[in-house]
Amino acid sequence: MSETSQPSQFKEGDIAWMLTSTAFVWLMIPGVGYFYSGMARSKNALSLILFCFLCVPVVAMQWFIWGYSLSFSRTGGLFIGNLRNAFFMNVRGEPTLKAESLPEIVHAIYQGMFAAITPSLAIGAAAERARMLPLLVFIFVWSTLVYDVIACWIWSANGWFKTIEGLDFAGGTPVHIASGAAALAYCVVLGKRHGHGRDEFKPHNNVNVILGTVFLWFGWFGFNGGSAFGANTRAAMAIMVTNTAASFGGLAWMLMDYRLERKFSALGFCSGAVAGLVCITPASGYVSPPVSVLFGITGGIACNLAVKLKHILDFDDALDVFAVHAVGGVAGNTLLGIFADKEMAALNGEIIHGGAIDGHSVQLGYQIASSIAGLTYSFCISALILYVMDRIPCLKLRMEPDEEEIGTDETELGEPAYYFLDRVVASIQVQIASKTMSSPQQTQLQSIDHIHYS
């Protein structure tokens, strides 16, 4: 086909929807940062937002150099692609394999947002004790050795899961299970936070948690709806089931907490909404709205119960990343194997055999295989990467105990999230200390406090 005839098959409406969806998914990345920041202590708040946000430039660089090519090159293998599209070579005006109505460059930038948000999900497990430089190196290496590999086998034309007709609409395995398993590896290799089991690690700002949930919920419409690769009925259906699952997931988690505390927790609702979004992600283009209710409730309950795993198995997943993303992703994959609907897939022309409810029981086996493979591969390779990095002096993963006590904001960034709050706390400490001192000592202490903050 000649260069002049190619643009005639592209649909401007589809391109516009995909570019809009790209912006939606981009917004999710700072959303993750605000969500995690609110759940952490105030002395680590700013660093968590920045750590998540820095996934954008680090992964954008990796995606440009070789990430897209390793994930989606047309002539790749069963497990990994090649360097045909390295530095975005040959990524121009040809139709993408996902949809003839889209140029490949649109598909490339859209999938780049998926690649960027995935490590931002994982790093929450290392909150309050991870050093910044090693974290950024880990993001680059992990994206290459873990994300690109799993994305290739799930979504590329020649990937092994694709060739056996496995289903994953928007990233149950490459995004959620992979990030959840990496989070588990990170917190295990890093070790527990200083004071774990003795100090209270309570969320410092639930407003940030709600703000992050708003960004995530909003962006997820592009995350799942954009995975239809066109402005079509299937995209609308994906958005519908996404909103439904998030709603029921949030209510299910909140009610699970209410049975224990007799309080309606804002944090519980937000956590449940994210769990519902995670659970519906692999199935969002394959199930009907009534079935999505089951996905939301299952995600909310299963992930709520999975939070207890860190106490049973004694690991310090600071922000419950494994419980929400790995467990939620496995639950979504499993339910998809049962409830995949041929009619939903046919809304934009995809032909599938359906799930166990359509008499295609082997689909359940495929989905479980994807979950186990993704979980095992991501955990093992992530742990290996972290183990090797921690043996390199300049890439030591964890802060020193005294630095951890001060907080990552001051230690790694040299600036706190809340200058005013820090001043108030310091002033209170000065007042308490001055009560036990003589008059000359009080004058000296107050003078020091005035100099420090003036």
Please tell me the predicted confidence (pLDDT) of residue 4: 43
Please tell me the predicted confidence (pLDDT) of residue 201: 81
Give the residue carrying structure tokens 């948690």. 209
**CB crowding 336-345: b at 16 or more within 10 Å, else e:** bbbbbbeebb
The closest alpha carbon to 248, from 203, 303, 330, 211, belongs to 303
CB 120 within 8 A of CB 32: yes
Q: Domain ranges for the chain, please list them.
A: 6-402, 419-454
Provide the 8-state DSSP code for 192. Answer: P
The closest alpha carbon to 379, from 216, 115, 185, belongs to 185
Q: How far apart are CA 213 and CA 266, in angstroms?
A: 11
First to last CA, the chain: 70
Kindly report the CATH number that applies to the domain delimited by 6-402: 1.10.3430.10
Size of the chain, expressed as the number of residues it contains: 454
Neighbours of 441 (CB within 10 A): 12
Q: Which uninterrupted H or E stretch holds 348?
A: none
Query: Where does residue 94 fall: left (phi above 0), alpha (psi -120 to 50 degrees), or beta otherwise?
Result: beta
Name residue 127's amino acid.
A
Q: How far apart are CA 50 and CA 392, in angstroms?
A: 24
Name residue 298's amino acid.
T
Please tell me the predicted confidence (pLDDT) of residue 2: 41
CA 432, 438, 443, 445 torsion: positive or negative? negative
Please tell me the predicted confidence (pLDDT) of residue 433: 59
Q: How far apart are CA 319 and CA 122, in angstroms?
A: 10
Average confidence (pLDDT) per 10 residues, the chain, 454 residues: 56 95 97 96 94 97 97 89 93 86 94 98 93 97 98 94 94 97 96 81 92 98 97 97 98 92 92 98 97 98 96 92 98 97 93 94 96 98 97 94 92 86 57 58 46 36
Q: How far apart are CA 284 and CA 348, in angstroms?
A: 13
How is residue 319 written in tokens?
A: 């922000």
Please tell me the predicted confidence (pLDDT) of residue 406: 92
CB 111 within 8 A of CB 18: no
CB 154 within 8 A of CB 166: yes
Exposed/middle/buried for residue 419 (C-beta within 10 Å: 0-12, 13-18, 19+): exposed
CB 225 within 8 A of CB 235: yes
Please tell me the predicted confidence (pLDDT) of residue 3: 43
Please tell me the predicted confidence (pLDDT) of residue 453: 35
Strand ranges, E, within 21-75: none
